[in-house]
């Protein structure tokens, strides 16, 4: 069964509260998502492998640590996942970025794929899939399925807000994928929106509504 990590850090919770407020505008929403993503990835990557290296400081030669193991790939689910990319690249500037385009059919709530471009060596990378919202889990589950179908196995999922339904779906479909969220909300409404949530993340991020 996959692990679910809920971030209770006061800075993350404070910033998320501002994002939830319906009066928060597009610019501030975007900046906050950027900041929270950067704070979250710090914990998401806590178990990355390191190796001992030798460095000569101005004082002496010493043994210290550097990242080892698989390089990182980050894969935002379009559109809203794009809002999490820059914050993560601030901390992991050498990460390669793949994109998966999915939208949720408003009538059926089923995900429809319209784009997929992954790094060439994606199967040799530690992959972090990004989407601010995990509602029914249909989009994230499908995206992870598409990534696995291309031979990739080391996948973690990072969401800003998840509904219990979405968590259950990922745990059922992808028990090998750990999920990291800033908040686990109460439930989904009849339109598949997370309650209390923050509304439509893509629209709030890009100002399309």
Residues carrying an active site annotation: 104, 108, 200, 203
Cβ-based nearer residue to ligand URA, 126 or 185: 185
Count of residues of this chain found to bind ligand PRP when the rule CB under 6 A is applied:
22
Q: Which residues of 178-202 are buried (b: 16+ CB within 10 A; e: fewer)?
A: bbbbbbbbeebeeebbbeebbbebb
**How many residues comprise the chain?**
209
Cis bond upstream, residue 197 (ω within 30): no
68 phi, psi to nearest 5 deg: -130, -170
Site for ligand PRP in 48-107 (CB under 6 A): 77, 79-80, 103-104
Nearest in space to 126 (alpha carbons), one of 178, 71, 189: 71
Least Å distance, CB 163 to ligand PRP, is 8
Closest distance of CB 40 from ligand PRP, Å? 16
> Is there a contact between 35 and 90 (Cβ–Cβ < 8 Å)?
no
Residue ranges in contact with ligand URA by CB under 6 A: 133, 135, 192-194, 197, 200-202
Q: Is 164 exposed, middle or buried, given 0-12, 13-18 or 19+ CB atoms closer than 10 A? A: middle
CA separation, residue 154 to residues 87, 107, 118, 191 (Å):
21, 33, 14, 32
Which residues within the stretch 171-190 sit at the binding site for ligand PRP (CB under 6 A)?
Answer: none
Stretch that binds ligand PRP, among 15-23, 26-34, 120-128, 130-138 (CB under 6 A): 130-138
Least distance in Å: CB of 142 to ligand URA?
A: 14
Stretch that binds ligand PRP, among 10-18, 37-45, 121-129, 195-203 (CB under 6 A): 195-203
Segment interacting with ligand PRP (CB under 6 A) among 35-43, 64-72, 138-146, 174-182:
138-146
Q: Cβ 126 to ligand URA, closest distance in Å?
A: 26
- Is 135 a binding residue for ligand PRP by CB under 6 A? The answer is yes
**CA distances (Å), 8 to each of 12, 44, 148, 160, 182, in order?**
7, 13, 30, 12, 7
Residues that bind ligand PRP (CB under 6 A): 77, 79-80, 103-104, 109, 111, 131-140, 166, 192, 200-202
């Amino acid at each position: 069964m996959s692990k679910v990590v809920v971030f209770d850090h006061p800075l993350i919770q404070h910033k998320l509260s501002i994002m939830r407020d319906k009066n928060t505008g597009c610019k501030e929403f975007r900046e906050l998502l950027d900041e929270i993503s950067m704070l979250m990835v710090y914990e998401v990557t806590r178990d990355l492998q390191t190796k001992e290296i030798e460095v000569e400081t101005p004082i002496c030669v010493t043994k210290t640590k550097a990242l080892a193991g698989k390089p990182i790939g980050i894969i935002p689910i379009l559109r809203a996942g794009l809002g999490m990319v820059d914050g993560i690249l601030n901390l992991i500037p050498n990460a390669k970025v793949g994109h998966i385009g999915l939208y949720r059919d408003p009538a059926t709530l089923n995900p429809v794929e319209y784009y997929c471009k992954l790094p060439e060596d994606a199967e040799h990378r530690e992959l972090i899939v990004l989407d601010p919202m995990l509602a029914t889990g249909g989009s994230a589950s499908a995206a992870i399925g598409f990534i696995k179908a291309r031979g990739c196995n080391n996948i973690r999922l990072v969401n800003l807000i998840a509904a219990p339904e979405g968590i259950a779906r990922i745990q059922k479909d992808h028990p090998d994928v750990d999920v990291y969220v800033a908040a686990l909300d109460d439930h989904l409404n009849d339109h598949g929106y997370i309650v209390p949530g923050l509304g439509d993340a893509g629209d709030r991020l890009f100002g399309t509504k």
